[in-house]
Structure 1
Amino acid sequence: MIKEERLKIILREINLYNKVLSSDLSELLNVSEDTVRRDLKELVEADLVTKVHGGAINKSLTKTLKKEEEVYGAESKVIIAQKATQLLKRDQVILIEGGTTIQSFAKHIPVNFPLHFFTISPQTAISLSENEGVVVNTVGGQLHKDSYLHTGSEVVMQLKDIRANLCLLGANGFSVENGLSDIDWEIVQVKKAMMQASKKTAILCISEKLNSNRKFIISEAANIDYLITELDTDSPLLKPYMDFGINVL
């Protein structure tokens, strides 16, 4: 595989999953990790990605979302955001994380619709605060610099004191067989705590991530109440999830 093809694949993986590990890219591309590191260095120098320990992250994680067209799959994420607003009820308490799909959702919440949000993402808090009708609290702790989410035992302890109506999560990987998964152990622990603190959980997931599995399991699919993608509900890709009993929007 020539370098130009590798760079396109690496950039797509980072755009899709927000964070990638050099070891995973090495396996995917069937090249050495040294080759991957050189490729990532070139993408960093072109200001296309941000280098982190062990891999790289999407540059959108390091700034507040301003223009939807700057985001990978922006049109699909707008559709997901609009569908997700169907779950909103007045005066709900909602736990919410970060990521570009979640930030898109934040910008589609009806104006002056009374809601109370708790979020582990400073960027999501900023996006939510633009709507005068909502109350926003951040669940604080150590800022995880690879995801720009608050993680750690302090966050998990704070979440134990919350009884939310709804938890809204993005997905790094989601499948019927292995459920919701991620590549970072600290993030997995926080998302588990978010789900445990909520009556219902909805996954906001671009369809390209369906039927994919990451290293660490957050939850079995049976614990997911809603799956929201950009696809119509009659899509064959969604049938296994509907058959499994998940409410698909």
Structure 2
Amino acid sequence: MLKIERHRIILSELNKYGSVLISDLSSQLSCSEETVRRDLKELENKNALKRIHGGAFLPEKDDKGAPIEIRETIFSKEKEALSSYVLKNYIRESDTIILDCSTTCLKLAQLIFNSNIKLTIITNSLRISNLFSKQSSQIKLIVIGGEFRHRSNSFVGYQATDSLQNYNADKVFLSCPAIDLKLGLLDNNYKESRVRKAMLNQAKQHILIADHTKFYDSAEFVIADLSKIETIVTDKSLSKEWLNTLNNTNIKLDYIIKESSND
């Protein structure tokens, strides 16, 4: 198949679904994944799409974050390991916890669902809400309503931030899109950033769960300064610059070193 035809099909799939996976395109186009990666790079250089690990998506004018469908496929093993570690080490029976709409917190919720722990969970995530609608007398679920954001399957806006002010949680678990040495926690969507900020304000303990790539990424909107976080749980040791910064700000770094390659 000629390159121009591959590009046409890729753009058609993007316009239809909003995101594409390299593995799916490789099968559909009958070419190697490396060829697909080169095609995506060329199309990104033409501002036709935004690449992400494992695929690409069409950023919206006011929302440059990747759709939840593609984010769920990224670093799935790392998210599983991080969530399992957090459940064992940071969540206690009868805790009231806040979970954001990240796919990492969705994975944590799935592990909680399969455990017998008794908790109260406060969330703005539709997917987490749907998960616990199938079960469980052990879980008291509080869903923060508001304007529905399709890209993250979450509820945002002033209704969400106002509603959060009615609650007092033991712990909040966040996994924001990016973390910056100087700016702190960052988000791709303004309304989502305000919800995450409100979540931090309503909890006694603040725990960030993030794979190592998020410490070297960037996003548009500031959620909060690093000083709002007491603990960071990540999957690999960070750079010396990051280690010095976290040490100087008395932020606990708890990480799991993964020797295998990311997939």
- The reply on whether 1:96 has 2:99 as its aligned counterpart is yes
Q: TM-score if structure 1 supplies the norm length? A: 0.73
In structure 2, the partner of 1:108 is 111
Gaps of 5+ in 1: 8-12, 16-28, 63-69
Decide whether the 8 Å contact of 1:142 with 1:151 is kept in 2.
yes
Deviation at 1:126, TM superposition (A): 2.4
Q: Which amino acid aligns with 1:118?
A: I
Q: TM-score if structure 2 supplies the norm length? A: 0.69
Decide whether the 8 Å contact of 2:102 with 2:174 is kept in 1.
no
Q: Which amino acid aligns with 2:78?
A: S
Separation in 1 of the partners of 2:182 and 2:20? 24
Separation in 1 of the partners of 2:57 and 2:131? 22
In structure 2, the partner of 1:207 is 212
Decide whether the 8 Å contact of 1:92 with 1:115 is kept in 2.
yes
In structure 2, the partner of 1:188 is 193
In structure 2, the partner of 1:81 is 83
What do residues 172-199 of structure 1 show as CA deviations (whole Å, max 9, x unaligned)? 1113321101121111111111111111
What do residues 56-82 of structure 1 show as CA deviations (whole Å, max 9, x unaligned)? 7335179xxxxxxx6211111111101
CA gap 1:32/1:51 in 2 versus in 1, 3 angstroms: closer
**1:118-197 superposed matches below 5 A:** 118-129=122-133, 132=136, 133-197=138-202
**1:25-44 superposed matches below 5 A:** 35-37=46-48, 39=49
Gaps of 5+ in 2: 11-18, 22-40, 255-263
Deviation at 1:236, TM superposition (A): 4.8
Deviation at 1:231, TM superposition (A): 2.1
Decide whether the 8 Å contact of 1:14 with 1:57 is kept in 2.
no
In structure 1, the partner of 2:60 is 53
What do residues 105-139 of structure 1 show as CA deviations (whole Å, max 9, x unaligned)? 11222622110001100102223455632221211
155-164 vs 106-115, greater mean Cα deviation: 106-115
Separation in 2 of the partners of 1:179 and 1:172? 11
For residue 188 of structure 1, give the secondary structure of its aligned residue in structure 2: helix
Separation in 2 of the partners of 1:61 and 1:161? 33
CA gap 1:210/1:14 in 2 versus in 1, 3 angstroms: farther
What do residues 145-198 of structure 1 show as CA deviations (whole Å, max 9, x unaligned)? 232210111111110110011111112111332110112111111111111111
For residue 217 of structure 1, give the secondary structure of its aligned residue in structure 2: strand
CA gap 1:145/1:79 in 2 versus in 1, 3 angstroms: same
Q: Which amino acid aligns with 2:115?
A: V
What do residues 70-105 of structure 1 show as CA deviations (whole Å, max 9, x unaligned)? 621111111110121111011111111112211111
Q: Please report the RMSD computed on the Cα atoms of aligned residues, expressed in angstroms.
A: 3.5
Q: Which amino acid aligns with 1:88?
A: I
Deviation at 1:213, TM superposition (A): 3.2
- The reply on whether 1:247 has 2:252 as its aligned counterpart is yes
Decide whether the 8 Å contact of 1:173 with 1:209 is kept in 2.
yes
What do residues 196-227 of structure 1 show as CA deviations (whole Å, max 9, x unaligned)? 11111111111011143322211110110111
For residue 202 of structure 1, give the secondary structure of its aligned residue in structure 2: strand
Decide whether the 8 Å contact of 2:97 with 2:121 is kept in 1.
yes
Q: Which amino acid aligns with 1:102?
A: C
Identity %: 16
CA gap 1:14/1:155 in 2 versus in 1, 3 angstroms: farther
Decide whether the 8 Å contact of 1:97 with 1:168 is kept in 2.
yes
Deviation at 1:32, TM superposition (A): 8.7
* Residues matched between the structures, number: 214
